[in-house]
């Protein structure tokens, strides 16, 4: 008992050990954020074919059922013919008659079931739609790099309205200014004689005349749908007087037609990055 009392007495008088609670120090610094970036997605870049198709689709909006249409030739005109074929097949256009400007266009239109005819049967055309190789501020054109300049000019001259479709790469300050070919269709007979005369005619403009060949690796001359050759004129400086130049070219015996389409376009639809611009006189 004495031992138990002693132990109790000892416990009673023992001082309590103070309780110490330690906490981890607070980190008051703002958390570090990982850097991030936002990438904006730019609008898709339109190809030259995309721009041509935009202009072609816009031009076809002017076509009404019952029209006699001049169908152009070339990469841009092909989009026009495709669109017409679609609208005819869905019944959105009817009683359309097309006058093609080349065998190539004739075959394309026939494959799309577009009714076709000729200038002999329809000498008056409501509307012609075609591309252009160059367009100047006066809406004068260079055409015919596709080789169909004679038939194009015949059909488009017979049209009440002529809409040109192109992309903005075709715009020039003066005809011949692109440095690319301005075609002249000549008879096969003594073609070299006319090539020399054409080059001499525009010597002051730094003109170089070349016979068009059938292909890059071919040595055979290109032959038009009319059985003629083409002499391509390359100018270092733009033509100053288109009407005067056209008159001088046409005066040469053996020249069939030239690629200067002057005062013929009623409007030009130019497709660019911002959309389709309508140019009128």
**Which residues are the active-site residues?**
152
Distance between CA atoms of residues 149 and 136, nearest Å: 18
Distance between CA atoms of residues 145 and 231, nearest Å: 11
Looking at the DSSP bridge assignments, the partners of residue 98 are: 69, 116
239 φ, ψ (degrees, to nearest 5):
-70, 125
Distance between CA atoms of residues 252 and 254, nearest Å: 6
Give the dihedral sign, CA 117/123/125/131.
Answer: positive
Q: The tokens of 116 are what?
A: 């076709």
131 φ, ψ (degrees, to nearest 5):
-85, -175
Q: In what order do the strands lie in the sheet with 182-186?
A: 208-211, 229-234, 182-186, 255-258
């Amino acid at each position: 008992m004495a031992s138990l009392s002693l132990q109790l007495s000892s416990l009673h008088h023992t001082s309590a050990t103070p309780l110490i609670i330690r906490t981890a120090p607070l980190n008051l610094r703002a958390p570090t954020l990982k850097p991030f970036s936002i990438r904006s997605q730019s609008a898709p870049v339109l190809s030259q074919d995309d721009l041509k198709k935009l202009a072609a689709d816009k031009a076809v909006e002017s076509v009404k059922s019952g029209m006699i249409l001049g169908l152009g030739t070339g990469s841009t005109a092909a989009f026009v013919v495709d669109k017409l074929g679609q609208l005819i097949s869905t019944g959105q256009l009817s009683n359309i008659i097309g006058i093609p400007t080349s065998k190539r266009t004739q075959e394309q239109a026939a494959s799309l079931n577009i009714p076709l005819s000729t200038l002999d049967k329809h000498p008056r055309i409501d509307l012609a739609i075609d591309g252009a190789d160059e367009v100047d501020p006066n809406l004068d054109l260079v055409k015919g790099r596709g080789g169909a300049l004679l038939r194009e000019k015949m059909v488009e001259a017979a049209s009440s309205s002529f809409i040109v479709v192109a992309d903005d790469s075709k715009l020039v300050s003066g005809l011949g200014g692109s440095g690319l070919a301005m075609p002249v269709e000549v008879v096969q007979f003594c073609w070299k004689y006319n090539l020399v005369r054409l080059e001499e005619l525009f010597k002051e403009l730094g003109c170089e005349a070349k016979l068009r060949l059938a292909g890059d690796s071919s040595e055979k001359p290109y032959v038009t749908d009319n059985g003629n050759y083409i002499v391509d004129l390359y100018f270092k400086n733009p033509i100053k007087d288109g009407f005067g130049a056209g008159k001088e070219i046409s005066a040469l015996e053996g020249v069939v037609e030239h690629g200067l389409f002057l005062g013929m376009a009623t409007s030009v639809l130019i497709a660019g990055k911002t959309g389709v611009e309508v140019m009128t006189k």
